[in-house]
Chain A
């Protein structure tokens, strides 16, 4: 009699708290003023400044060379300046060998 009624009340409280926390977090994620995730961070894709198995950013279809500095450029999927000689796990060769 003493213990049983408390359980549903506690459950309801926990459920409502979780729902409120979730709503707040969601609002924070999608609310105005947050910058868009345009590209992924270098650290998330194992970016390095040297080639990997002979592959480098200069051979990747996502790489766009910097007009003033041919040694570096930008990437369509990785944020920041990347080296022409660099590499990351998202490397995709310019020529599609499959087709």
Chain B
């Protein structure tokens, strides 16, 4: 691991040495802001970032100069094409791999280009903007569409009312949200793509990401009440661009429209240094168990989330905390009838609590506690496999993720992350029935994250 770390670190230094001093992404080039104006520490948003997103990514600093088509300078006039690039290089070290099938740990111990993304992120017209990401997966050597959020926004002020409102067309429930508690934009913002992951998660917790198309309407009233309603459907026909390049054999296929809702109450004080939010969100979706045969009965998922966030933001000290709880009720009419589950109905509960501190905008530390519990179901979770199976048929997993970050420049992040499991796929010891313990899946992850 030491040699891997050295390789990545040396690579990081070489890359940073060749960077231009003012290389920043397209939002910063459009607004003229420092990254840390909109971000607590990217990608977590501050109140300015939330307002920018509510405004449909359209805010642009005034200029009398001719705007170039493409530019990497943030001090010049905003470019007409808001393009940006992201590179993530990483190395993963899993604690216990001896005696297990090496195929379960691809690229473990190797340094690799994990991900390269291209963005169209910024204003399209006065009222329309977009955040659209296309990602090359350096592990799978495959590229596909990533998060997409196209917005049309406006603002009304008068008679004691301040209303920011708009529409969003996106491909991931909660990607349109403005807080960093909901699944699409919650911690960890980067994690290993080769580490073994627990086998249970709620549908809204990434289970529909880049597979569906949703049209929603949102509004922020008097900087206090935020509400959003949306309907999601299978991203097929004209909407298939929202899942371009993804695996159609596993992509979720929904029956009809899945309603999504979001309601949050927020407050800022101390001259906007401090802010807090409490909210709820959720989705109800009917999903065909076989994506290649979307006929017959469906499984119904009802996910309800409760979340809260606190931020203290100054240039010297920054503190943030997020809580998120998701309760999922699964009515597995189709899967149960086909013999794929033991129970006709199941529940799944996920809880996450995260706290971060950043000093001088450069040095950060984050710790997160996570825990998932739910119904025991051998049909769903006990696959009989080593490493990824669950001998007890329980979805239970819990543990802590700790991360330290160093931002030598504001567009470069070097991060070291450790995930320690207390329980994994149902138990702390011998969880797969082949003698593997939860702590064997503890993962050390070193990553360089560069925004261009």
Contact = CB atoms under 8 A, between A and B. Distances in A.
Interface of A: 11, 14-15, 18-19, 22, 25-26, 29-30, 34, 36-41, 43-46, 48, 52-53, 61-62, 76-77, 87, 89-92, 96, 98-99
19 contacts: A11-B256, A18-B215, A25-B217, A29-B166, A34-B127, A37-B58, A37-B59, A37-B126, A40-B55, A41-B155, A41-B157, A44-B51, A48-B271, A61-B32, A77-B31, A77-B59, A89-B37, A96-B34, A98-B21
Contacts of B22: 96, 99
Given A29-B166, A44-B164, A98-B409, A39 B62 contact: yes
B47 A46 contact: yes
B248 interface: no
B223 A44 contact: yes
A48 B32 CA distance: 21
Interface string B367-410: 00000000000000000000000000000000000000000011
A29 B152 contact: yes
Given A26-B152, A43-B223, A92-B37, A11 B257 contact: yes
Contacts of B215: 18-19, 22
B206 to A, nearest CB: 25
Contacts of B152: 26, 29-30
Contacts of B47: 46, 89
A29 B154 contact: yes
Contacts of B271: 46, 48, 52, 87
A45 B275 CA distance: 13
A99 B20 CA distance: 10
Nearest to B128: A30
A56 B315 CA distance: 15
B62 A76 contact: yes
A54 to B, nearest CB: 11
A45 B37 contact: no
B450 to A, nearest CB: 15
A66 B164 CA distance: 29
Nearest to B154: A29
Contacts of B153: 29, 37
Interface string B21-63: 1100000000111100100000000111001000100110111
Contact of A34 (B21, B154, B157): B154
B314 interface: yes
B256 A30 contact: no
